Amino acid sequence: MSDPVGGAAATDDPRTALRCGAWPSPLTPERAAVGAVSLAYAGVAQGRLLWVEGRPAEQGRSVLVARGLDGTVADVLGPDSNLRSRVHEYGGLPWAAVGEQLVYSGFGDQRLGVRRADGAERLFSPPACRYADGQAGRDGRTLVCVREDHRKDHNGTDGEARNAVVLLDLDRPDDEGRVLYGDSDFVAWPRLDTGGQRLAFVAWDHPAMPWDATRLLVGTMGTLGTLGTLGTASTLNTAGDGALTLLQTVAGGPGESVAEPQWGDDGALYFLSDRSGWANLYRWTPQPDGGRTDAMTRLVDAEIGGPLWNLGQQSYALLGDGRALLRVSRGTVDTLCLLNLANGQTSPLPLPLPLPLPFVGFGSVGLLDAHTAFTVAAAADGLPALTTIDLRDGSHQVVRAAGEAPLQAAYVSAAQPIEFATAPGPDGQPRTAHAWFYPPQHPDHRPADGEAPPLVVMLHGGPTAQAGPAFKVGVQFWTSRGFAVVDVNYGGSSGYGRAYRERLRGQWGVVDLQDAVAAVDHLAGTGRGGGARGGLRGGSARGFP
C-alpha cells in the first residue's frame, strides 16, 4: 500500500522530505513514451492458442501469433502482415479458423487473406469491403461474419456504408459474401448453433448506440444459405442466392442492450442483457410457442461484460459440463467466477497464492480445452499478460507478457477506490460518483510535512469506457514524481450499471465535468491533493475542456 501523504503521519516517515513534483523517477519520459505490446483477440485453432499482438517497435503493426502444441511461440504470417479490421472503424476480431485454413483481415486494403495448412496464402474478398467477427460454418469451407460494404454502388442514397451478416464461401474466389441479414444499420456477434442450422446475432439502428438499445435475433439457415423461419428442417447449403425471409426477435428493444449470444450444447441460446439495470446472463430455450427466457444470474451492483466498442468480445464461456466461466465486474474490478447453470450458484474461481501479480482486470475469456481457460489478465503493478488458467484449482501460466514491468514495485502507487458527493440529479436527489485515487509513491522521498501534493485529474474516453485499477504507465509517471492522480469514473462510465451510464444522456460536457470538479473538491477537502495546484488530462471523448 502507498504511504500517507502530508500531515502528521509523515513526521514518522524515515524517507527524505522533498517538494512534490521534484522527486527523481526511474520512469523517464523516454521510457514512458515507449508503448507496450498489446495482446488481444485470443482464440483456438487446430488445438493451438492464437492471439494478435500490436507491436509499437514494428511501426505498430498487428501480428497473428500462435503457441504450438510443443509450447513454442511464433508468428503465424509473414513479416509484412498487419491484421486489423476497420468495421465500425473500431474494428474487432480480425481472424477466424475455417477447417484447416486461417482467414484474416489485412489492415491496408481490408481484404481478407486466406492461409492454407501448407502455408500458401491468397487474397480473398473484394476491395472496399471490411469484415470482422467471423465464425466457421460446419462444412469446413464457409464463414459467417459481419461485413461493412463501402462500395459506392452498394451504398444507399445517404452514401453510408452498409452493414450485414454475410456468408462467405472460401472455395469461391473473390466471394464478396451472400447477405443473410442486412435490414439494420449495424450488426454484431453472428453465431451458429452446434448443428450449423440456426444463427443468432445482434442488430441495432440509428440513433441508438449498442449500449442503448439492441435486438437479439434468431433464424434458421435455409436450403439456399438463407435465414428462414424457426423450426425449418434444413442444413447449411451455399448454392443459390442469399435472402432474408423471417426472423424471431428473442430479446432486446428500446431501453435494453443485449449482447454476446452463444449457443450451448443443450440447444439453448445464452446472452447478456441489462434489462434489470445490470448486465446479467440469460438463457433462451426454443419452444413451439417461440421460446422461454430464464435469468441465469441476478447480479446487483455488478455486471458481466461491457459496452460494445470492438466486435467479438466475449465475457463468458460455456464449459460444456453444465457450468459457465464469467468475467464479473464490480466497481470496475474484475473477478472470474464459475456459474452452475442448473441452480444459478456462482463461486469465485480460486487463484492460489502466491501470485506473481494480483489480477484486477480481465479481457475476453475463452476455453483452450475442457479444463483450461485463457484471458488477458491485467495486474495492479505490472503490464498485462495472456494467461491460461486451470479451472480445477485456479493455477495459471503466463503465455505471453506485454513486456517487463517498467517500474519497480517500491515506486508503484496502489489505486484506492473513492466515492464522493457530486451535483444532484435532475430530480434534485443527491448523487455520488466514483474514481480511483493514486497517492504519490517513492521509496526514498515523501511530501514535506503538511504539503498537499499537486493533483492530476484524468478523464477516460468513450465516454462509456471506464477507469480501472490496473497498472497504467501514464498514472505512475506522475505518482513516482510526487503528484497525486485521480482517475475519474464520471457519470456515463460503464461498470456501475445502466442508470449510472445514462447520467450522461443529454448532459455530455456537464455531468462529466461536474463529477471531475467534485472529485477535486473531495480530495482537497481531505488534504490528499489538489488545492491551487493541479491539471487535467483526457483523450478522445474527454480530450477537450
Query: What are the pLDDT digits (tens) for 364-388?
Result: 999 999 999 999 999 999 999 999 9
| Least confident interval from 238-247, 327-336, 498-507 | 238-247
Alpha helices in 311-468 (DSSP H): none
Q: In CATH, what is the architecture of 8-32+408-542?
A: 3-Layer(aba) Sandwich (3.40)
Q: Which residues contact 231 (CB under 8 A, 6 or more apart)?
A: 220, 288
**CB distance 323 to 338 below 8 Å:** yes
pLDDT at residue number 453: 94
Dist. CA 113–CA 14, nearest whole Å: 61
Average pLDDT over residues 135-156: 87
pLDDT at residue number 538: 79
pLDDT tens by residue, 56-69: 999 999 999 999 98
User: Which set of grid coordinates corresponds to residue 268?
Assistant: 439453448
Percent of the chain with pLDDT strictly greater than 70: 90
pLDDT at residue number 529: 82
Q: Is residue 122 within a helix (H) or strand (E), and if so which, with residue range?
A: strand 121-124
Buried b (16+ CB within 10 A) or exposed e, 193-218: beebbbbbbbbbeeeeebbbbbbbbb
Give the mean pLDDT of the chain.
89
pLDDT at residue number 379: 92
Q: Residue ranges per domain, the chain?
A: 8-32+408-542
Task: Give the CA count within 13 Å in the CB-facing half-sphere of 309.
Answer: 11
Model confidence at 242: pLDDT above 70 = no
pLDDT band for position 226 (cuts 50, 70, 90): very low
pLDDT tens by residue, 413-429: 999 999 999 999 999 99
Q: Which residues contact 437 (CB under 8 A, 6 or more apart)?
A: 415, 416, 417, 418, 484, 485, 486, 487, 523, 528, 529
pLDDT at residue number 543: 62
| Least confident interval from 4-18, 214-228, 440-454 | 4-18
pTM, rounded to two decimals:
0.92
